[in-house]
A and B are shown apart, each in its own frame.
Chain A
Amino acid sequence: MQATIATILAKAQTEFSALQTRAEFETAKARYVGPNGEFTALLKQMGSVPKDQRPALGKLINEAKVRLQSLLDAALRTIADREIAAQLGPAVDPTLPSPDAGPGTYHPLTLVREEMCRILRRAGFSVADGPEVDTEFYNFDALNTPPEHPARDVQDTFFFPENARFGNVSKRVPEERYLLRSHTSTVQIRTMLKRPPPIRIVSPGRVFRRDTTDATHSANFHQLECLYVDRDVTVRDLKALLDYIFAALLGPDTKTRFRPHYFGYTEPSFEVDLSARHLPKVNKEWIEIGGCGMVDPSVFEAVGYDPEVWTGYAFGMGLERLAMLLYGIDDIRYFYQNDLRFLRQFA
């Protein structure tokens, strides 16, 4: 009997170590410890063993049983390990690049626009939007630009044919013409006509000028304008806003200054100069960044606000120009070519 046990164990050891799959394992296991297994048969013989030999033999069989179980466990572990190894595949080379698409990117004009909107939001401005196709009233008349004014020249503004129809852009008077807005001030007019004061909006958007495309000019470009209308708004408040905006954008040592200028829709009007450290490719102290002023009373009259009660300021700037200053870009056309080597730099 003892010899038989030893033979069975030896055979089991050899057989189990050769097992490859769970199915083979189950068959092998059944061959030994199943109802008809060799080892089970051995156990069945225990009844015929003389009483005095039983304790010794029982111990022997128990030991064999434990041994057999550990052989089975080991075989199963090997199989499980092999299965996992098969699922894993070969080891990775961590230095190989991921073949997946690289990170998506926002366009630099979007980044600059959103940053300005965030800064202005802190000052209480919400973002307003309006149509790119607009009419003479919103682009000129309401902004104190009378019919004979040189700014209305067809040389500078894109117009649509007299019979053009735009289903969702409202005209003020039937005979006025559609045009591509030459500034985002149209949004100020539309907003003021829609809502009573106080008003505090920023309107970023695309504008159009009939201009030769070169390193600094583009047939369409983007502006960002702020409008604040309330009681007792002053020139000093306007200066305070601009100081805040540019300090928030470029750091606390940034300065702004006003130069007198002329715009039909503001009085007084200024051009805004900016002085900031660390702007790339800028080698003069003051650089022009935008225009601003106190809303002209005639604009309030055009939108039905009482100019005796309401005062306000407006500020506008070109987003391309700002982006060019911030990033040190020297040609406006790069924004519209969309070379990925350019776009990826701003992520």
Chain B
Amino acid sequence: MVKFPSHTAESHERVAPRRSNRSLYGFTLVELLVVIAVIGLLVSFILPALGSTRGLAHQIHCASNLKQLGIALRNHETMQGFFPPGYTSQSTVDPPPATRDADTWDAPPGWGWSSYLLAYLDAEHLASAISFDQPIWAAEHRDVVNQTLPYFLCPAAESVNPTFSVLDADANPLSIEGNPVEVGRSHYVASHGQESCWGECGASSTGTVFTDIYTSATTEIAIEGDASRVADGPFYRNSRTRVRDVQDGLSRTIFLGEHASDLSDKTWAGVIPGAYTHPRFSSPENGPDAAATLTLVHAGPSGGELDITGEPIIHSINFPTYHVGQMYSVHAGGGNVCLGDGSVRFVSDDVNLLVWAEWSSMAEGEAGKDLE
């Protein structure tokens, strides 16, 4: 007969009370609250870090998109001999097209700078579906211009519909030749320079431009529908900017930048006569602006306008007047711009205003200090 070791019974005696103690042992309410507090504290430390990491990732993604657009610009210039037009418009043909806007002289076809880059952006299928001599709003383009393209969208910008209806002055859907126009969104805009020539300027016979941003000197010029007489940046109505036109240097001239849809709608398609861009939020100084701001922005100073103290008005990226015709980003502390050489820089909200203006014109010999 097998005898079990006597320690079995003893161990029961020894162990049983311990088990009994353990069963009584648990978390007190205070301990639980302390643990919850510690976890809460850790989460409060981690969440902002995660948020800023996500923000940084979005900023890098945004910059990467802009870099692709910059390369496409250079490829366009190499192949065509000039950078794409800000947008195309039969503004000064005689007789003018029936759909030419009487107030701005914006006219068909309207294709914007981004649409001319499609062939250089792995989107040949869309480029080949476009008849660039026909209007954006032609029936054949209805299922083209409402396409969404990933490199035109910055993930940091507000997640709104990837397409939007082009609006009129009263913020109602614009109807042109009896049809509304639905276009694909873009979070990137091109620089018209310091000066702007859209809205009434586009149809004016004369206008005022700055000749010296340091002394606020201005002069009167004849415009007569030719935006090139006003624009001092690389993209404007019917622009065909060549490398040699960028006398300040490709690496010292802002070509492209961001405009998050949190402020207003922009499109890669182009400019529709009679359209307006409306701000999504209002400041005392922002409001609807003309159709050209669907694809273009400017830096100021412009049109001889001065502030209340007599200084030229310059609006750098995220300038707190929040015009729909300025660059705007939702990244913390600034936004990305693409220079003429295709390089991308992150520029601070607090960038020196004069430096911003200097880097926005392309041939005025002003770009002295570095853009930061």
Same complex:
no
